[in-house]
Chains A and B, each alone.
Chain A
Amino acid sequence: MIQLDCVTKSFGTTRALDGLSLAVRPGEIFGLLGPNGAGKTTTIRLLNGLFPPDSGSLSVFGMDPQKQGSEIRARAGILTETPALYERLSAEENLLFFGNICGISQQKLVQCVFEVLDLFGLEARAKERLAGFSKGMKQRVALARALLHDPELLFLDEPTSSLDPESALQVNDLIRTISRDGGRTIFLCTHNLLEAQRLCDRVAVLDAGKILASGTPAELAAALFPGVRVEIDMEAPAPVNLAEKLAVCQGLRSIQWEGGTALMDLADHADIPGMVATLVSAGARITRVEPRPVSLEEIYFQLRKNHGGHT
Protein backbone atom coordinates (compact mmCIF):
# COMPACT_ATOMS: atom_id res chain seq x y z
CA MET A 1 0.00 0.00 0.00
CA ILE A 2 2.77 2.42 1.03
CA GLN A 3 6.45 1.93 0.36
CA LEU A 4 9.35 4.23 1.19
CA ASP A 5 12.95 3.33 0.35
CA CYS A 6 15.88 5.38 1.65
CA VAL A 7 13.93 8.63 1.43
CA THR A 8 15.72 11.81 2.41
CA LYS A 9 14.32 15.31 2.64
CA SER A 10 15.95 18.48 3.89
CA PHE A 11 14.64 21.98 4.44
CA GLY A 12 17.58 24.34 4.24
CA THR A 13 20.20 22.91 6.57
CA THR A 14 17.68 20.83 8.53
CA ARG A 15 17.45 17.19 7.53
CA ALA A 16 13.82 16.21 8.12
CA LEU A 17 14.08 12.64 6.81
CA ASP A 18 17.32 10.70 6.73
CA GLY A 19 17.12 7.49 4.72
CA LEU A 20 13.59 6.60 5.74
CA SER A 21 12.43 3.14 4.67
CA LEU A 22 9.16 1.54 5.64
CA ALA A 23 6.26 -0.42 4.22
CA VAL A 24 2.58 -0.33 5.18
CA ARG A 25 0.38 -3.31 4.34
CA PRO A 26 -3.23 -3.10 3.17
CA GLY A 27 -5.81 -3.12 5.95
CA GLU A 28 -3.48 -2.45 8.87
CA ILE A 29 -3.26 0.48 11.26
CA PHE A 30 0.33 1.57 11.06
CA GLY A 31 1.67 4.01 13.63
CA LEU A 32 4.58 6.31 12.96
CA LEU A 33 5.71 7.39 16.41
CA GLY A 34 8.11 10.11 17.31
CA PRO A 35 8.56 13.41 19.08
CA ASN A 36 7.65 16.75 17.47
CA GLY A 37 10.05 17.49 14.64
CA ALA A 38 10.88 13.81 14.06
CA GLY A 39 9.67 13.99 10.46
CA LYS A 40 6.18 12.48 10.74
CA THR A 41 4.29 15.32 9.01
CA THR A 42 7.00 15.57 6.35
CA THR A 43 6.44 11.88 5.61
CA ILE A 44 2.68 12.41 5.16
CA ARG A 45 3.26 15.41 2.91
CA LEU A 46 5.69 13.45 0.76
CA LEU A 47 3.26 10.56 0.47
CA ASN A 48 0.55 12.97 -0.71
CA GLY A 49 2.81 14.52 -3.32
CA LEU A 50 2.93 17.96 -1.73
CA PHE A 51 6.67 18.15 -2.38
CA PRO A 52 9.32 15.81 -3.78
CA PRO A 53 11.95 13.90 -1.79
CA ASP A 54 15.60 14.88 -2.21
CA SER A 55 16.49 11.25 -2.84
CA GLY A 56 15.05 7.76 -2.47
CA SER A 57 11.82 6.41 -3.82
CA LEU A 58 8.29 6.19 -2.50
CA SER A 59 4.95 4.93 -3.71
CA VAL A 60 1.34 4.88 -2.57
CA PHE A 61 -1.07 2.39 -4.21
CA GLY A 62 1.92 1.64 -6.47
CA MET A 63 1.89 5.23 -7.77
CA ASP A 64 4.54 7.93 -7.56
CA PRO A 65 3.16 10.81 -5.43
CA GLN A 66 5.07 13.40 -7.46
CA LYS A 67 3.62 12.26 -10.76
CA GLN A 68 0.20 11.03 -9.64
CA GLY A 69 -0.40 13.04 -6.47
CA SER A 70 -3.91 13.95 -7.53
CA GLU A 71 -4.88 10.30 -8.09
CA ILE A 72 -3.40 9.31 -4.73
CA ARG A 73 -5.22 12.10 -2.91
CA ALA A 74 -8.47 11.03 -4.58
CA ARG A 75 -8.10 7.56 -3.07
CA ALA A 76 -6.82 8.70 0.33
CA GLY A 77 -8.29 10.81 3.12
CA ILE A 78 -6.47 12.89 5.68
CA LEU A 79 -7.06 14.27 9.12
CA THR A 80 -4.50 16.85 10.16
CA GLU A 81 -3.67 18.21 13.61
CA THR A 82 -5.84 21.27 12.99
CA PRO A 83 -9.16 20.53 11.27
CA ALA A 84 -8.53 23.01 8.36
CA LEU A 85 -12.26 23.57 7.89
CA TYR A 86 -14.18 26.70 6.93
CA GLU A 87 -15.65 28.15 10.10
CA ARG A 88 -18.02 30.52 8.31
CA LEU A 89 -19.61 27.56 6.58
CA SER A 90 -21.83 24.95 8.19
CA ALA A 91 -20.75 21.34 8.66
CA GLU A 92 -22.95 20.38 5.73
CA GLU A 93 -21.57 23.13 3.47
CA ASN A 94 -18.00 22.10 4.33
CA LEU A 95 -18.71 18.48 3.48
CA LEU A 96 -20.56 19.34 0.27
CA PHE A 97 -17.62 21.47 -0.85
CA PHE A 98 -15.01 18.81 -0.16
CA GLY A 99 -17.26 16.13 -1.67
CA ASN A 100 -17.50 18.15 -4.86
CA ILE A 101 -13.75 18.66 -5.18
CA CYS A 102 -13.18 14.99 -4.39
CA GLY A 103 -15.32 14.13 -7.42
CA ILE A 104 -18.23 12.38 -5.66
CA SER A 105 -21.14 12.27 -8.10
CA GLN A 106 -23.85 14.86 -7.51
CA GLN A 107 -26.56 12.20 -6.98
CA LYS A 108 -24.46 10.40 -4.38
CA LEU A 109 -23.00 13.42 -2.62
CA VAL A 110 -25.96 14.49 -0.48
CA GLN A 111 -26.49 10.92 0.66
CA CYS A 112 -22.77 10.53 1.52
CA VAL A 113 -22.79 13.78 3.50
CA PHE A 114 -25.74 12.72 5.60
CA GLU A 115 -24.32 9.26 6.14
CA VAL A 116 -21.05 10.59 7.55
CA LEU A 117 -22.82 13.27 9.60
CA ASP A 118 -24.99 10.52 11.06
CA LEU A 119 -21.98 8.25 11.68
CA PHE A 120 -20.24 10.99 13.64
CA GLY A 121 -23.34 12.14 15.53
CA LEU A 122 -23.41 15.54 13.84
CA GLU A 123 -26.71 15.35 11.97
CA ALA A 124 -28.57 17.63 14.40
CA ARG A 125 -26.01 20.41 13.96
CA ALA A 126 -25.39 19.96 10.23
CA LYS A 127 -26.75 23.39 9.31
CA GLU A 128 -24.83 25.30 11.99
CA ARG A 129 -21.68 27.22 11.21
CA LEU A 130 -18.50 25.58 12.45
CA ALA A 131 -17.45 28.71 14.34
CA GLY A 132 -19.79 27.64 17.15
CA PHE A 133 -18.45 24.08 17.38
CA SER A 134 -16.08 22.79 20.06
CA LYS A 135 -12.59 21.60 19.03
CA GLY A 136 -13.68 17.98 19.41
CA MET A 137 -16.72 18.50 17.18
CA LYS A 138 -14.63 20.25 14.55
CA GLN A 139 -12.20 17.34 14.58
CA ARG A 140 -15.14 14.97 14.10
CA VAL A 141 -16.29 17.01 11.10
CA ALA A 142 -12.72 16.86 9.77
CA LEU A 143 -12.72 13.09 10.19
CA ALA A 144 -16.10 12.96 8.43
CA ARG A 145 -14.56 14.97 5.58
CA ALA A 146 -11.62 12.57 5.39
CA LEU A 147 -14.02 9.63 5.01
CA LEU A 148 -16.57 11.28 2.76
CA HIS A 149 -15.21 9.81 -0.48
CA ASP A 150 -14.78 6.38 1.08
CA PRO A 151 -10.97 6.33 0.84
CA GLU A 152 -8.97 3.12 0.90
CA LEU A 153 -6.22 4.79 2.90
CA LEU A 154 -6.51 7.25 5.75
CA PHE A 155 -3.67 9.48 6.92
CA LEU A 156 -4.10 10.69 10.50
CA ASP A 157 -1.59 13.31 11.58
CA GLU A 158 -1.72 13.87 15.33
CA PRO A 159 -5.51 13.52 15.23
CA THR A 160 -6.09 14.13 18.93
CA SER A 161 -3.20 16.31 20.02
CA SER A 162 -5.28 19.46 20.42
CA LEU A 163 -8.26 17.76 22.05
CA ASP A 164 -9.33 17.32 25.66
CA PRO A 165 -9.21 13.71 26.94
CA GLU A 166 -12.93 13.10 26.41
CA SER A 167 -12.91 14.37 22.81
CA ALA A 168 -9.68 12.46 22.14
CA LEU A 169 -11.34 9.28 23.36
CA GLN A 170 -14.33 9.90 21.08
CA VAL A 171 -12.08 10.46 18.07
CA ASN A 172 -10.06 7.33 18.88
CA ASP A 173 -13.25 5.29 19.17
CA LEU A 174 -14.31 6.58 15.76
CA ILE A 175 -10.92 5.68 14.27
CA ARG A 176 -11.25 2.15 15.66
CA THR A 177 -14.77 1.88 14.22
CA ILE A 178 -13.62 3.13 10.81
CA SER A 179 -10.76 0.66 10.72
CA ARG A 180 -12.82 -2.30 11.93
CA ASP A 181 -15.89 -1.69 9.77
CA GLY A 182 -14.30 -0.34 6.62
CA GLY A 183 -11.17 -2.47 6.43
CA ARG A 184 -9.22 0.63 5.55
CA THR A 185 -5.51 1.07 5.84
CA ILE A 186 -4.67 3.74 8.40
CA PHE A 187 -1.35 5.57 8.61
CA LEU A 188 -1.29 7.21 12.02
CA CYS A 189 1.37 9.74 13.00
CA THR A 190 1.40 10.50 16.67
CA HIS A 191 3.51 11.27 19.68
CA ASN A 192 0.69 9.99 21.88
CA LEU A 193 1.96 6.53 22.79
CA LEU A 194 -1.19 5.49 24.59
CA GLU A 195 -3.20 6.32 21.48
CA ALA A 196 -0.80 4.30 19.34
CA GLN A 197 -0.96 1.39 21.76
CA ARG A 198 -4.75 1.37 21.60
CA LEU A 199 -4.97 1.64 17.83
CA CYS A 200 -1.95 0.31 15.98
CA ASP A 201 -1.24 -3.12 14.57
CA ARG A 202 2.34 -2.18 13.72
CA VAL A 203 4.47 0.80 14.60
CA ALA A 204 7.73 2.42 13.58
CA VAL A 205 9.61 4.74 15.88
CA LEU A 206 11.01 7.76 14.10
CA ASP A 207 13.59 10.08 15.55
CA ALA A 208 15.40 12.89 13.75
CA GLY A 209 14.23 11.53 10.41
CA LYS A 210 15.46 7.97 11.01
CA ILE A 211 13.54 4.83 11.84
CA LEU A 212 14.84 3.40 15.12
CA ALA A 213 12.77 0.22 14.93
CA SER A 214 9.58 -1.12 13.44
CA GLY A 215 7.25 -4.06 13.95
CA THR A 216 4.26 -5.07 16.05
CA PRO A 217 4.40 -3.85 19.66
CA ALA A 218 4.87 -7.49 20.70
CA GLU A 219 7.84 -7.94 18.33
CA LEU A 220 9.46 -4.75 19.56
CA ALA A 221 8.85 -5.73 23.18
CA ALA A 222 10.37 -9.15 22.60
CA ALA A 223 13.42 -7.61 20.97
CA LEU A 224 13.96 -4.95 23.61
CA PHE A 225 12.70 -6.72 26.70
CA PRO A 226 13.25 -10.44 26.18
CA GLY A 227 11.55 -12.66 28.74
CA VAL A 228 8.60 -11.76 30.86
CA ARG A 229 7.85 -8.89 33.18
CA VAL A 230 5.96 -9.68 36.38
CA GLU A 231 4.46 -7.40 39.00
CA ILE A 232 4.32 -8.83 42.50
CA ASP A 233 2.56 -7.00 45.35
CA MET A 234 3.71 -7.81 48.87
CA GLU A 235 2.56 -6.74 52.29
CA ALA A 236 5.10 -4.63 54.16
CA PRO A 237 7.56 -5.10 55.66
CA ALA A 238 9.63 -7.07 53.14
CA PRO A 239 11.43 -10.05 54.66
CA VAL A 240 15.03 -9.56 55.69
CA ASN A 241 17.64 -11.08 53.38
CA LEU A 242 15.10 -11.10 50.55
CA ALA A 243 17.56 -9.51 48.18
CA GLU A 244 20.16 -12.20 48.89
CA LYS A 245 17.66 -14.96 48.27
CA LEU A 246 16.44 -13.39 45.07
CA ALA A 247 19.97 -12.89 43.82
CA VAL A 248 20.42 -16.63 43.37
CA CYS A 249 16.93 -17.14 41.98
CA GLN A 250 16.86 -18.82 38.57
CA GLY A 251 15.72 -16.73 35.63
CA LEU A 252 15.65 -13.35 37.41
CA ARG A 253 17.28 -10.69 35.25
CA SER A 254 16.42 -7.51 37.10
CA ILE A 255 14.18 -6.22 39.83
CA GLN A 256 12.78 -2.79 40.54
CA TRP A 257 10.81 -1.74 43.60
CA GLU A 258 7.90 0.65 43.47
CA GLY A 259 6.68 0.83 47.07
CA GLY A 260 5.40 -2.61 47.97
CA THR A 261 5.45 -3.77 44.36
CA ALA A 262 8.36 -5.65 42.83
CA LEU A 263 8.71 -5.34 39.09
CA MET A 264 10.73 -8.32 37.93
CA ASP A 265 12.16 -9.18 34.54
CA LEU A 266 12.32 -12.97 34.21
CA ALA A 267 13.82 -15.06 31.43
CA ASP A 268 10.65 -17.07 30.82
CA HIS A 269 7.08 -17.64 31.98
CA ALA A 270 8.26 -20.98 33.44
CA ASP A 271 10.37 -19.08 35.96
CA ILE A 272 7.32 -17.45 37.62
CA PRO A 273 6.33 -20.36 39.96
CA GLY A 274 9.91 -20.75 41.19
CA MET A 275 10.16 -17.04 41.85
CA VAL A 276 6.90 -17.01 43.81
CA ALA A 277 8.02 -20.05 45.81
CA THR A 278 11.31 -18.33 46.65
CA LEU A 279 9.50 -15.24 47.87
CA VAL A 280 7.04 -17.23 49.97
CA SER A 281 9.81 -19.32 51.51
CA ALA A 282 11.62 -16.08 52.38
CA GLY A 283 8.54 -14.99 54.33
CA ALA A 284 6.99 -12.59 51.86
CA ARG A 285 3.21 -12.20 52.10
CA ILE A 286 2.21 -12.03 48.42
CA THR A 287 -1.14 -10.44 47.58
CA ARG A 288 -0.90 -10.28 43.77
CA VAL A 289 1.21 -11.79 40.97
CA GLU A 290 0.56 -10.50 37.47
CA PRO A 291 2.56 -10.75 34.26
CA ARG A 292 2.68 -7.24 32.79
CA PRO A 293 2.95 -6.67 29.05
CA VAL A 294 5.58 -4.15 28.02
CA SER A 295 3.89 -0.89 27.09
CA LEU A 296 4.61 0.96 23.89
CA GLU A 297 5.81 3.80 26.07
CA GLU A 298 8.51 1.58 27.58
CA ILE A 299 9.48 0.35 24.12
CA TYR A 300 9.63 3.89 22.80
CA PHE A 301 11.78 5.23 25.61
CA GLN A 302 14.05 2.18 25.55
CA LEU A 303 14.58 2.67 21.82
CA ARG A 304 15.32 6.34 22.26
CA LYS A 305 17.71 5.52 25.10
CA ASN A 306 19.48 2.87 23.01
CA HIS A 307 19.94 5.38 20.20
CA GLY A 308 21.17 8.16 22.43
CA GLY A 309 17.92 10.16 22.44
CA HIS A 310 16.46 11.94 25.42
CA THR A 311 14.13 9.87 27.57
Chain B
Amino acid sequence: MRSRVLKAIIKKDLLEVSRNRTAWVPVVIIPLVFFVFLPALFLLLPRLSFFQSTTMPTNLDPGQVLSVLPEEVKARFAGLSVDQLIPFAILGYFFAPMFLVMPLMVSSIVAAESFAGEKERKTLEGLLYSPTTDAELFTGKALAALLPAVGFSLLSFVLYTVVINTLGYPIMGRIWFPLPGWWPLIFWITPAVAFLGVLVTVLVSARVATFMEAYQSGGMLVLLVLGLVVGQATGIIYLGVLSGMVIGTILWLVDWLLLRFCLRLFSRKVLIGKV
Protein backbone atom coordinates (compact mmCIF):
# COMPACT_ATOMS: atom_id res chain seq x y z
CA MET B 1 0.00 0.00 0.00
CA ARG B 2 1.52 3.34 -1.07
CA SER B 3 1.48 6.04 1.60
CA ARG B 4 1.50 8.79 -1.02
CA VAL B 5 -1.72 7.48 -2.53
CA LEU B 6 -3.32 7.25 0.91
CA LYS B 7 -2.26 10.81 1.73
CA ALA B 8 -3.67 12.09 -1.57
CA ILE B 9 -7.04 10.39 -0.96
CA ILE B 10 -7.21 11.65 2.64
CA LYS B 11 -6.30 15.20 1.62
CA LYS B 12 -8.81 15.23 -1.23
CA ASP B 13 -11.65 13.83 0.91
CA LEU B 14 -11.03 16.31 3.71
CA LEU B 15 -10.78 19.21 1.26
CA GLU B 16 -14.14 18.19 -0.18
CA VAL B 17 -15.77 17.89 3.26
CA SER B 18 -14.36 21.26 4.30
CA ARG B 19 -16.14 22.82 1.32
CA ASN B 20 -19.49 21.26 2.19
CA ARG B 21 -21.06 23.43 4.88
CA THR B 22 -23.77 20.84 5.62
CA ALA B 23 -21.01 18.46 6.59
CA TRP B 24 -18.68 20.58 8.69
CA VAL B 25 -21.03 22.91 10.57
CA PRO B 26 -22.17 20.16 13.00
CA VAL B 27 -18.52 19.16 13.49
CA VAL B 28 -17.81 22.64 14.87
CA ILE B 29 -21.10 23.30 16.63
CA ILE B 30 -21.48 20.02 18.56
CA PRO B 31 -18.19 20.14 20.50
CA LEU B 32 -18.71 23.81 21.30
CA VAL B 33 -22.19 23.11 22.66
CA PHE B 34 -21.49 19.82 24.44
CA PHE B 35 -17.96 20.31 25.65
CA VAL B 36 -17.67 24.06 26.21
CA PHE B 37 -21.04 25.75 26.48
CA LEU B 38 -22.96 23.15 28.55
CA PRO B 39 -20.17 22.46 31.10
CA ALA B 40 -19.55 26.21 31.42
CA LEU B 41 -23.24 26.81 31.98
CA PHE B 42 -23.36 24.02 34.50
CA LEU B 43 -20.39 25.34 36.46
CA LEU B 44 -21.25 29.04 36.30
CA LEU B 45 -25.02 29.14 36.78
CA PRO B 46 -25.08 27.81 40.35
CA ARG B 47 -22.64 30.57 41.35
CA LEU B 48 -24.96 33.33 40.20
CA SER B 49 -26.94 34.63 43.15
CA PHE B 50 -30.25 34.53 41.27
CA PHE B 51 -29.98 30.79 40.65
CA GLN B 52 -28.63 30.12 44.10
CA SER B 53 -31.74 31.59 45.60
CA THR B 54 -34.24 30.00 43.23
CA THR B 55 -33.09 26.73 41.80
CA MET B 56 -30.29 25.21 43.83
CA PRO B 57 -31.33 22.68 46.40
CA THR B 58 -30.12 23.71 49.81
CA ASN B 59 -30.58 20.41 51.53
CA LEU B 60 -29.55 17.94 48.77
CA ASP B 61 -28.74 14.55 50.15
CA PRO B 62 -25.49 13.34 48.55
CA GLY B 63 -26.61 9.82 49.34
CA GLN B 64 -29.44 10.13 46.78
CA VAL B 65 -27.04 11.17 44.02
CA LEU B 66 -24.61 8.44 44.91
CA SER B 67 -27.16 5.67 45.24
CA VAL B 68 -26.97 4.61 41.57
CA LEU B 69 -23.20 4.59 41.45
CA PRO B 70 -20.89 1.61 41.89
CA GLU B 71 -18.96 1.31 45.14
CA GLU B 72 -15.69 2.17 43.39
CA VAL B 73 -17.10 5.53 42.34
CA LYS B 74 -18.81 6.18 45.65
CA ALA B 75 -15.42 5.89 47.31
CA ARG B 76 -14.05 8.61 45.02
CA PHE B 77 -16.91 10.89 46.04
CA ALA B 78 -16.23 10.53 49.72
CA GLY B 79 -15.51 13.79 51.42
CA LEU B 80 -16.97 15.98 48.67
CA SER B 81 -19.37 18.74 49.63
CA VAL B 82 -22.74 19.05 47.93
CA ASP B 83 -21.44 21.89 45.77
CA GLN B 84 -18.55 19.73 44.66
CA LEU B 85 -20.52 16.54 44.28
CA ILE B 86 -22.86 17.76 41.54
CA PRO B 87 -20.19 18.84 39.00
CA PHE B 88 -18.03 15.87 39.94
CA ALA B 89 -20.82 13.35 39.36
CA ILE B 90 -22.40 14.94 36.32
CA LEU B 91 -19.40 16.34 34.44
CA GLY B 92 -16.91 13.73 35.52
CA TYR B 93 -19.09 10.67 35.43
CA PHE B 94 -22.54 10.89 33.80
CA PHE B 95 -21.26 13.02 30.93
CA ALA B 96 -18.64 10.49 29.85
CA PRO B 97 -20.73 8.42 27.38
CA MET B 98 -22.02 11.64 25.78
CA PHE B 99 -18.48 12.22 24.70
CA LEU B 100 -18.78 9.35 22.21
CA VAL B 101 -21.21 11.42 20.14
CA MET B 102 -18.18 13.28 18.84
CA PRO B 103 -16.18 10.46 17.16
CA LEU B 104 -19.39 8.90 15.93
CA MET B 105 -20.70 12.08 14.37
CA VAL B 106 -17.46 13.15 12.70
CA SER B 107 -16.67 9.70 11.32
CA SER B 108 -20.24 9.25 10.02
CA ILE B 109 -20.28 12.65 8.33
CA VAL B 110 -16.91 12.28 6.63
CA ALA B 111 -17.52 8.63 5.67
CA ALA B 112 -20.97 9.46 4.26
CA GLU B 113 -19.47 12.32 2.27
CA SER B 114 -16.57 10.15 1.13
CA PHE B 115 -18.38 6.94 0.23
CA ALA B 116 -22.03 7.81 -0.56
CA GLY B 117 -21.09 11.34 -1.64
CA GLU B 118 -18.79 10.05 -4.39
CA LYS B 119 -21.62 7.90 -5.67
CA GLU B 120 -24.12 10.76 -5.49
CA ARG B 121 -21.85 13.17 -7.38
CA LYS B 122 -20.86 10.50 -9.92
CA THR B 123 -17.16 10.88 -9.20
CA LEU B 124 -16.59 7.30 -8.10
CA GLU B 125 -16.04 6.06 -11.64
CA GLY B 126 -12.99 8.30 -12.03
CA LEU B 127 -11.44 6.75 -8.93
CA LEU B 128 -12.20 3.20 -10.04
CA TYR B 129 -10.33 3.80 -13.29
CA SER B 130 -7.29 5.10 -11.40
CA PRO B 131 -4.25 2.87 -10.78
CA THR B 132 -5.04 2.59 -7.07
CA THR B 133 -5.82 -0.83 -5.64
CA ASP B 134 -9.15 -1.57 -3.92
CA ALA B 135 -7.31 -1.77 -0.59
CA GLU B 136 -5.69 1.66 -1.10
CA LEU B 137 -9.02 3.24 -1.98
CA PHE B 138 -10.78 1.76 1.03
CA THR B 139 -7.95 2.49 3.46
CA GLY B 140 -7.50 6.06 2.23
CA LYS B 141 -11.19 6.80 2.52
CA ALA B 142 -11.56 5.07 5.88
CA LEU B 143 -8.58 6.99 7.28
CA ALA B 144 -9.98 10.24 5.88
CA ALA B 145 -13.01 9.68 8.12
CA LEU B 146 -11.22 8.09 11.07
CA LEU B 147 -8.39 10.57 11.57
CA PRO B 148 -10.49 13.73 11.91
CA ALA B 149 -12.97 11.84 14.10
CA VAL B 150 -10.24 10.87 16.54
CA GLY B 151 -8.52 14.26 16.18
CA PHE B 152 -11.68 16.27 16.86
CA SER B 153 -12.49 13.99 19.79
CA LEU B 154 -9.08 14.58 21.32
CA LEU B 155 -9.43 18.30 20.76
CA SER B 156 -12.88 18.25 22.35
CA PHE B 157 -11.46 16.31 25.30
CA VAL B 158 -8.73 18.91 25.77
CA LEU B 159 -11.29 21.73 25.55
CA TYR B 160 -13.57 19.95 28.01
CA THR B 161 -10.70 19.34 30.41
CA VAL B 162 -9.60 22.97 30.28
CA VAL B 163 -13.15 24.32 30.66
CA ILE B 164 -14.20 22.21 33.62
CA ASN B 165 -10.88 22.48 35.45
CA THR B 166 -10.74 26.24 34.95
CA LEU B 167 -14.36 27.09 35.67
CA GLY B 168 -14.63 24.34 38.27
CA TYR B 169 -11.54 25.41 40.19
CA PRO B 170 -13.38 27.80 42.51
CA ILE B 171 -15.72 24.94 43.44
CA MET B 172 -13.32 22.01 43.54
CA GLY B 173 -10.23 23.87 44.72
CA ARG B 174 -7.96 21.65 42.62
CA ILE B 175 -7.38 20.19 39.14
CA TRP B 176 -9.62 17.14 39.35
CA PHE B 177 -10.35 16.11 35.76
CA PRO B 178 -9.88 13.72 33.93
CA LEU B 179 -11.05 10.90 36.16
CA PRO B 180 -9.32 7.52 35.52
CA GLY B 181 -12.30 6.09 33.61
CA TRP B 182 -11.84 8.74 30.91
CA TRP B 183 -8.45 7.41 29.74
CA PRO B 184 -9.78 4.17 28.21
CA LEU B 185 -12.79 6.13 26.99
CA ILE B 186 -10.60 8.56 25.05
CA PHE B 187 -7.78 6.33 23.88
CA TRP B 188 -9.46 2.93 23.50
CA ILE B 189 -13.23 3.35 23.09
CA THR B 190 -13.22 6.58 21.07
CA PRO B 191 -11.14 5.21 18.13
CA ALA B 192 -13.21 2.01 18.20
CA VAL B 193 -16.46 4.02 18.06
CA ALA B 194 -15.06 6.26 15.31
CA PHE B 195 -14.12 3.20 13.28
CA LEU B 196 -17.55 1.70 13.93
CA GLY B 197 -19.07 4.91 12.57
CA VAL B 198 -16.93 4.61 9.43
CA LEU B 199 -17.74 0.95 8.84
CA VAL B 200 -21.48 1.24 9.42
CA THR B 201 -21.58 4.26 7.10
CA VAL B 202 -19.67 2.29 4.44
CA LEU B 203 -22.23 -0.52 4.69
CA VAL B 204 -25.12 1.93 4.58
CA SER B 205 -23.52 3.86 1.70
CA ALA B 206 -23.53 0.71 -0.41
CA ARG B 207 -27.33 0.69 -0.25
CA VAL B 208 -28.32 4.34 -0.41
CA ALA B 209 -27.96 6.96 -3.10
CA THR B 210 -27.09 10.17 -1.29
CA PHE B 211 -24.77 11.60 1.35
CA MET B 212 -27.70 12.68 3.50
CA GLU B 213 -29.33 9.23 3.46
CA ALA B 214 -26.05 7.61 4.43
CA TYR B 215 -25.42 10.13 7.20
CA GLN B 216 -28.92 9.83 8.62
CA SER B 217 -28.94 6.02 8.50
CA GLY B 218 -25.45 5.86 10.01
CA GLY B 219 -26.65 8.27 12.68
CA MET B 220 -28.71 5.43 14.16
CA LEU B 221 -25.52 4.53 15.99
CA VAL B 222 -26.24 7.43 18.32
CA LEU B 223 -28.70 5.01 19.93
CA LEU B 224 -25.64 3.09 21.10
CA VAL B 225 -24.37 6.22 22.86
CA LEU B 226 -27.80 6.91 24.33
CA GLY B 227 -27.83 3.34 25.62
CA LEU B 228 -24.54 3.98 27.38
CA VAL B 229 -25.80 7.29 28.78
CA VAL B 230 -28.95 5.64 30.17
CA GLY B 231 -26.95 2.65 31.39
CA GLN B 232 -24.49 4.90 33.16
CA ALA B 233 -27.21 7.12 34.65
CA THR B 234 -29.13 4.13 35.99
CA GLY B 235 -26.05 2.36 37.26
CA ILE B 236 -26.36 -0.61 34.87
CA ILE B 237 -23.11 0.23 33.11
CA TYR B 238 -20.15 1.87 34.69
CA LEU B 239 -17.44 3.38 32.50
CA GLY B 240 -14.44 2.73 34.68
CA VAL B 241 -10.96 1.67 33.66
CA LEU B 242 -11.62 -2.06 33.48
CA SER B 243 -15.17 -1.80 32.14
CA GLY B 244 -13.94 0.79 29.62
CA MET B 245 -11.26 -1.59 28.39
CA VAL B 246 -13.81 -4.41 28.09
CA ILE B 247 -16.36 -2.26 26.25
CA GLY B 248 -13.60 -1.00 23.94
CA THR B 249 -12.41 -4.52 23.21
CA ILE B 250 -15.94 -5.63 22.34
CA LEU B 251 -16.29 -2.65 20.02
CA TRP B 252 -12.97 -3.44 18.30
CA LEU B 253 -14.14 -7.04 17.76
CA VAL B 254 -17.38 -5.76 16.22
CA ASP B 255 -15.26 -3.44 14.04
CA TRP B 256 -13.14 -6.35 12.89
CA LEU B 257 -16.21 -8.34 11.84
CA LEU B 258 -17.74 -5.35 10.04
CA LEU B 259 -14.43 -4.62 8.34
CA ARG B 260 -14.50 -8.05 6.72
CA PHE B 261 -17.97 -7.31 5.29
CA CYS B 262 -16.88 -3.87 4.15
CA LEU B 263 -13.80 -5.16 2.35
CA ARG B 264 -15.99 -7.62 0.49
CA LEU B 265 -18.35 -4.81 -0.51
CA PHE B 266 -15.65 -2.34 -1.40
CA SER B 267 -14.26 -3.92 -4.54
CA ARG B 268 -14.27 -2.50 -8.02
CA LYS B 269 -16.35 -5.46 -9.16
CA VAL B 270 -19.16 -4.47 -6.77
CA LEU B 271 -18.76 -0.70 -6.90
CA ILE B 272 -18.79 -0.35 -10.68
CA GLY B 273 -22.29 -1.76 -10.70
CA LYS B 274 -23.43 1.18 -8.57
CA VAL B 275 -22.04 4.11 -10.59
Contact = CB atoms under 8 A, between A and B. Distances in A.
B124 interface: yes
Contact of A89 (B15, B125, B132, B268): B15
Contact of B9 (A48, A52, A89, A101): A101
A84 interface: yes
B131 A101 contact: yes
B16 A88 contact: yes
Interface stretch (A67-75, A111-119, A183-191, A210-218): A67-75
Query: Which size bracket describes the interface of B in this complex?
Result: 20 to 34
A101 B272 contact: no
Contacts of A84: 122-127
A87 B20 CA distance: 11
A48 B2 CA distance: 20
B129 A78 contact: yes
A152 interface: no
B272 A73 contact: no
B122 A82 contact: yes
Given A82-B122, A86-B12, A100 B129 contact: no
Interface string B239-275: 0000000000000000000000000000011001100
Interface in A26-71: 45, 48-52, 69-71
B208 to A, nearest CB: 20
Interface residues of A, number: 32
Contact of A82 (B5, B8, B125): B125
Contacts of B207: none
Interface string A103-145: 1000000000000000000000000010000000000001001
B58 interface: no
Contacts of A49: 268
B8 A101 contact: yes
B139 interface: no
A52 B272 CA distance: 12
Nearest to A103: B131
Contacts of A11: 273
23 contacts: A48-B129, A50-B269, A50-B272, A51-B269, A69-B268, A71-B131, A78-B129, A80-B125, A82-B125, A84-B126, A85-B126, A86-B123, A87-B121, A88-B15, A89-B15, A93-B12, A97-B8, A98-B126, A101-B127, A101-B130, A103-B5, A103-B131, A145-B126
A-B pairs, 6 with minimum CB distance:
A84-B126, A100-B8, A74-B131, A88-B19, A73-B131, A97-B12
